[in-house]
Structure 1
Amino acid sequence: MRNPPLSRNKIRGAVHVARPHDSAAKQVAGDAFYIDDIPEPKDLLHLYLAQSEKAHARLLKLDVSAVRAAPGVVAVLTAADVPGVNDASPIEGDDPVFAEDIIEYAGQVLFAVAAETLDQARAAAKHAIVEYEELPAIVTIEQALAANSFVLPTREIRRGDAAAAIKAAKHRLKQKFEIGGQDHFYLEGHVALALPGEDGDIFVHSSTQHPTEVQHNVAKFLDLPDHSVIVEIRRMGGGFGGKETQGAWFAAIAALTAKVTGRPAKIRLDRDDDMIITGKRHDFIATVEMGFDDDGMVSGAEFVLASRCGRSADLSASINDRAMFHADNCYYFDNVTIISHRCKTHTVSNTAFRGFGGPQGMLAPERMMDAIASYLGKDPLEVRKANLYGKDKRNVTPYKMTVEDNIAPEIIAELEKSSDYAARRNAIRAFNKKSSYLKKGISLTPVKFGISFTASHLNQAGALLHVYTDGSVMINHGGTEMGQGLYIKVAQVVAEIFQIDIERVKITATRTDKVPNTSPTAASSGADLNGKAAEAAALAIKERLVAFAAKNYGVDKSEVVFLPNRVKIREQTVAFKDLVQLAYMNRVSLSSTGYYRTPKIHYDAATLSGRPFYYFAYGAAVSEVIVDTLTGENKVVAVDILHDTGKSLNPAIDLGQIEGGYIQGMGWLTTEELYYDDKGILKTHAPSTYKIPACSDRPEKFKMKIFERGENVEETIFRSKAVGEPPLMLAISAFNAIADAISSIADYRLYPDLDAPATPERILKAAQRIAEAVNNDKPAEAAQ
């Protein structure tokens, strides 16, 4: 790992400086408070959720009288007990918190038991009498397509005539493949603690990325105005999108319990229940056809992307839109059609996940680049370079946004050289000729990821900043901390503005009564939005201090200069805290709000066109793997990454995000398999059946480097770029490297039929198909 750059000034913790996560020491020592660490209040009730055993059924009878009579039970809550609207959806009003007449997935909540202990609540739930009329369940994407079952209308983007261009091309290839879903597997599961207050008010501690949405949904659920509900979150033990919307369900149930009983109530899901009840990354079936010439230049491309949305819409509209917007990745397609089917199935409603549809969309063209290269007998990198975005007419996306900041060719060229890609590729091919069963593979893939919420109204943020008379500073903003380092980055921004040591800056827990109407911490925009809002608040107070100093000392404003922990006023120097104290004594306001809205973006949802993104983040990765073709076992052995963070606010935090993103993406594409049986029952709902990457899966050789010449062309916070989501897609190179290794069985003449995740079983089957094709002397065209 390359060392981050040193500070350019003497302030301890200003921007562009590598600094530890603000919670790191507390987390290591076990001193960091999460919701379940909050000392339990007197008379706390514990909640257990009873779930449907059927994926699709009519609820004929729900008798909970025996549950209410069980030892320790204080309340049993069903849909009939909801005073407001029995819904906690983000948009469409289609997510009932408690099942009513129709069950739409196995795991859907039927009722909640509130008892003195969790064990009592769990035991009591078993006494319920539940009768179903089972209905046919649509479980798979194929079943949904056959039944025309969709949660949202099919959308299309068209430019030129893709079908005609493909038909006229010298070469054509068509691929159909599955892209699996992924469980968030955050270390801290969903948890909520609700406390009753005066006048019917409710205070909720919720592990959520979107406190405002939890506030709105709890208020709607309880038939209260928003001002009667306060939501707070200091930190989450991981979120990854899984706590953007669905945490509202659990907060609502805890809040209802507190309202009905007048006692505090807590719900904490165990791992199995969490995985069964909550949504995942959308799995896709992608069908892609491309026409191309002898150089691999694509003249026409058709994408059909069908996703499993589950029982309700959740955020599927924006997720699938983003998949469409990333079906180009770094490549210009003159004639292109992108069709998106949003399938309704009787499975849990899938939701936001790091990358938000972008990874699924991006995998489709990357797989095709490899397939085309195999067909033509070329290095896949050569085909990728031939299709990169360029200048003039070759810099407009299918959704009509001009790519103004394209540094993908520069990043690819630098990584190709620094990783010694060509020599390694040649060495791997030589190894594979001599090795009968162990095969190596290598791939270099790029990333172009759009930064902003595609729902344009979410691109806004607020902050509240106080400077105290001792010179210490407190900042509150709408962003949430889930381990990604947002709090420390915003603290660095404030320290930079005031030129004070970061130890003088404290960021408090995110609360809906401090900063209202906040956007979710998602879309990689946390630092972009909240950093700018905090900057605005800090600059407002700084301007007051400058004006006061100029007037008080009889100098021009230009003669007031902030230096590390002091202020120079012409020839005189005053400690920052002394100037603050003096300003207070002269009745200067030392508190301010800050607000920011992302400029330039505009997007027509009806036509799927405009400028949905403020800018793009870029990166590239080289992954090298080894595969045992007799067992399907595999390992990523070496990774080289070059990633663009603009002018990084905190290189240490950003490098951690790059590494973590790659590993999580590697898990999605290699080991993390979600399996539903034909009844719609999730069978992989615990670590025993669902495999996230372990420490031993981390590549032994892992080289990361931040692109040193990076600087955002847009006026983002100190010219930085978002880094939360884009690195995940660097792991597409690992999947492609596995395919490259399998392809070597046929001396690279055949491209393997391999779905994601590339589990040992799938690798073994793909290798067997390639071997059979070789033995049957199958023509290369027929195996593509």
Structure 2
Amino acid sequence: MARATGRPVDELRERNFAGGPNGTETPYGQRLEGDLIRRVWAEAKQGADWERRRAEAEAFNAAHPTLRRGLGGFALAFGISFGIMAMNQAGALVHVYTDGSIRLNHGGTEMGQGLFIKIAQVVAEVFGVEVERIRITATSTAEVPNTAPTAASTGSDLNGWAAHAAAGAIRARMAGIAATAWGVPEEEVIFADGHVSAGNHRMRFGELARLCWAQRVSLSATGFYRTPDIHWDPVAMRGHPFFYFSYGAALAEVLVDTLTGEYRVLRADLVQDCGRSLNPAIDRGQIEGAFLQGQGWLTCEELWWDADGRLRTLGPSTYKIPGSREMPAEFNLRLLEDAPARANTIFRSKAVGEPPLLLATCVWNALRDAVGGARLDLPATPERVLAALRAGGA
């Protein structure tokens, strides 16, 4: 369409974003929050100084016979929930001990993504204590049965609410004991800074735990959560399958050698919607890693089967995964500010595992721009980039 109309491809994408005059309903009947897709796109373009760099790239390409710069963008609304409704549930187990320490177990698996510390932060917030009090134990179905997979970017959403429910049940019991001891209404009892207080009364969290034990009040609870307001008809292909959408936009610039097809990603600018982030440092790491993983998926991770149908790309010697040199030389990332989740997610946060992976599509779009819009199959290896350049007459 861009070639046929002579319009910039990013302009056509922007004109067709959901929301505004285009409506917000998806083909399967669920509505998008169309304002956020436009917001992340506008902020990404502004932060990247997009129009100036587009003009610079055109001037560069006109002056260099063998090198060519390309720019590309991508924006997305990523639905968060399992497509199989039964998987949208989680459980948790919390114990409070008389020394004020807290033991936490939940159904999520820690695989380096920072899930455990996020759920520990949720429990610490409920009890008003420092996160160092929380001892997280390895996931086990002996403690929390029938766990859902830790996948679909739902780990914090599901397990965070389950842990919140368990901790909240214990906190309510503890508040009742404190209220009785002090002769105040339960709603006046405050848990904060490692202490419990109401009016002029105050004691350490561990002291209240010992008082609860002395009065034979349970300091153990299970919590359960099921994602609300989702449904799906697999026959009609209609419904409301996602609890909410995570929005993001990314812009990339590449430099391509037209003689060899080799290229470098010079710069990437991302704006990612994390709602009210549970842990911005972890979310930033997840976004950076996901983007590079997506870049590898789109550019260098090529699968190859022989004539007998055997997969030959079995290991690092034959299967190219992205490394440090594939990381954009300049990587600018911002979390969308002042955009708490509209859905009742845990502390109004949003998932951040998989959405940024797809933002790496901007690298492919930048490569397509550099080769003149010719067909560029995936993964966009240097060989395929060279073939596209030749097909386009470069």
Q: Normalising to structure 2: TM-score of the pair?
A: 0.98
Alignment partner of 1:672 out of 286, 298, 301: 301
Aligned residues: 394
CA distance in 2, matches of 1:392, 1:518: 43
Note if contact 2:264-2:326 (Cα within 8 Å) is conserved in structure 1. Answer: yes
CA distance in 2, matches of 1:433, 1:620: 28
Equivalent runs, 1:177-216 vs 2, <5 Å: none
Q: Are 1:447 and 2:76 matched, yes or no?
A: yes
Alignment partner of 1:427 out of 40, 44, 56: 56
CA distance in 2, matches of 1:526, 1:732: 24
The aligned counterpart of 2:272 is: 643
Query: 1:43-101, CA deviations, whole angstroms, 9 ceiling, x for partnerless residues?
Result: xxxxxxxxxxxxxxxxxxxxxxxxxxxxxxxxxxxxxxxxxxxxxxxxxxxxxxxxxxx
Q: Are 1:764 and 2:386 matched, yes or no?
A: yes
The aligned counterpart of 1:45 is: none
The aligned counterpart of 1:417 is: 46
CA distance in 1, matches of 2:359, 2:194: 41
Query: 1:505-561, CA deviations, whole angstroms, 9 ceiling, x for partnerless residues?
Result: 011000011001110000100000000000000000000011111112211112211
The aligned counterpart of 1:704 is: 333
Amino acid at match of 1:540: A
The aligned counterpart of 2:375 is: 753
Structure 2 SS opposite 1:669:
helix
Equivalent runs, 1:447-466 vs 2, <5 Å: 447-466=76-95
The aligned counterpart of 2:217 is: 588
Alignment partner of 2:140 out of 474, 491, 511: 511
Shift of 1:375: 2.6
Alignment partner of 1:567 out of 183, 196, 210: 196
Equivalent runs, 1:209-248 vs 2, <5 Å: none
The aligned counterpart of 1:545 is: 174
CA distance in 2, matches of 1:730, 1:472: 41
Equivalent runs, 1:56-95 vs 2, <5 Å: none
Equivalent runs, 1:123-142 vs 2, <5 Å: none
Note if contact 2:300-2:321 (Cα within 8 Å) is conserved in structure 1. Answer: yes
Q: Are 1:469 and 2:98 matched, yes or no?
A: yes
* Cα distance change, pair 499–405 in 1 and its aligned pair in 2 (3 A): farther
Amino acid at match of 2:244: Y
Alignment RMSD: 1.1
TM superposition outliers: structure 1 runs of 4+ over 2 Å: none
CA distance in 1, matches of 2:274, 2:292: 18
Amino acid at match of 1:431: F
Q: Are 1:722 and 2:348 matched, yes or no?
A: no
Shift of 1:490: 0.1
CA distance in 2, matches of 1:484, 1:405: 29
Amino acid at match of 1:759: T
Greater share of helix? 2
CA distance in 1, matches of 2:33, 2:148: 27
Equivalent runs, 1:372-391 vs 2, <5 Å: 372-391=1-20
Note if contact 1:399-1:609 (Cα within 8 Å) is conserved in structure 2. Answer: yes
Shift of 1:405: 5.9
Structure 2 SS opposite 1:523:
coil
CA distance in 2, matches of 1:423, 1:407: 24
Q: Are 1:531 and 2:153 matched, yes or no?
A: no
CA distance in 1, matches of 2:119, 2:136: 8
CA distance in 2, matches of 1:642, 1:565: 36
Shift of 1:596: 0.4
Query: 1:493-515, CA deviations, whole angstroms, 9 ceiling, x for partnerless residues?
Result: 00001011111001100001100
CA distance in 1, matches of 2:3, 2:318: 35
Query: 1:651-706, CA deviations, whole angstroms, 9 ceiling, x for partnerless residues?
Result: 00000010001000000111110101121111111111111111111111001110
CA distance in 2, matches of 1:423, 1:405: 27
CA distance in 2, matches of 1:447, 1:559: 44
Structure 2 SS opposite 1:474:
strand
The aligned counterpart of 1:402 is: 31
Amino acid at match of 2:142: D
Alignment partner of 2:242 out of 605, 609, 613: 613
Shift of 1:433: 0.7
Shift of 1:393: 6.9
Q: Are 1:498 and 2:127 matched, yes or no?
A: yes
CA distance in 2, matches of 1:589, 1:527: 26
The aligned counterpart of 2:151 is: 522
The aligned counterpart of 1:598 is: 227
Shift of 1:391: 4.2
Q: Are 1:681 and 2:310 matched, yes or no?
A: yes
Note if contact 2:174-2:209 (Cα within 8 Å) is conserved in structure 1. Answer: yes
* Cα distance change, pair 423–632 in 1 and its aligned pair in 2 (3 A): same
CA distance in 1, matches of 2:35, 2:99: 47
CA distance in 1, matches of 2:221, 2:115: 20
Query: 1:546-600, CA deviations, whole angstroms, 9 ceiling, x for partnerless residues?
Result: 1111112211112211121001122111001101111111101000000000010
Structure 1 SS opposite 2:267:
strand
Equivalent runs, 1:629-640 vs 2, <5 Å: 629-640=258-269
Note if contact 1:405-1:616 (Cα within 8 Å) is conserved in structure 2. Answer: no
CA distance in 2, matches of 1:655, 1:373: 34
Kindly, what percent of the aligned residue pairs are identical? 50
CA distance in 2, matches of 1:544, 1:434: 74
- Which sections of structure 2, spanning at least 5 residues, go unmatched? none
Shift of 1:618: 0.4
Shift of 1:406: 4.0
Shift of 1:407: 0.3
Which structure has the greater CA radius of gyration? 1
CA distance in 2, matches of 1:439, 1:552: 75
Query: 1:288-311, CA deviations, whole angstroms, 9 ceiling, x for partnerless residues?
Result: xxxxxxxxxxxxxxxxxxxxxxxx
- Which sections of structure 1, spanning at least 5 residues, go unmatched? 1-371, 744-750, 773-784
Note if contact 2:182-2:201 (Cα within 8 Å) is conserved in structure 1. Answer: no
CA distance in 1, matches of 2:363, 2:40: 18
CA distance in 2, matches of 1:526, 1:399: 25
Query: 1:470-498, CA deviations, whole angstroms, 9 ceiling, x for partnerless residues?
Result: 00001100000111100000000000010
Shift of 1:392: 7.5
Note if contact 1:626-1:636 (Cα within 8 Å) is conserved in structure 2. Answer: yes
CA distance in 1, matches of 2:34, 2:349: 14
CA distance in 2, matches of 1:738, 1:645: 28
Amino acid at match of 2:36: I
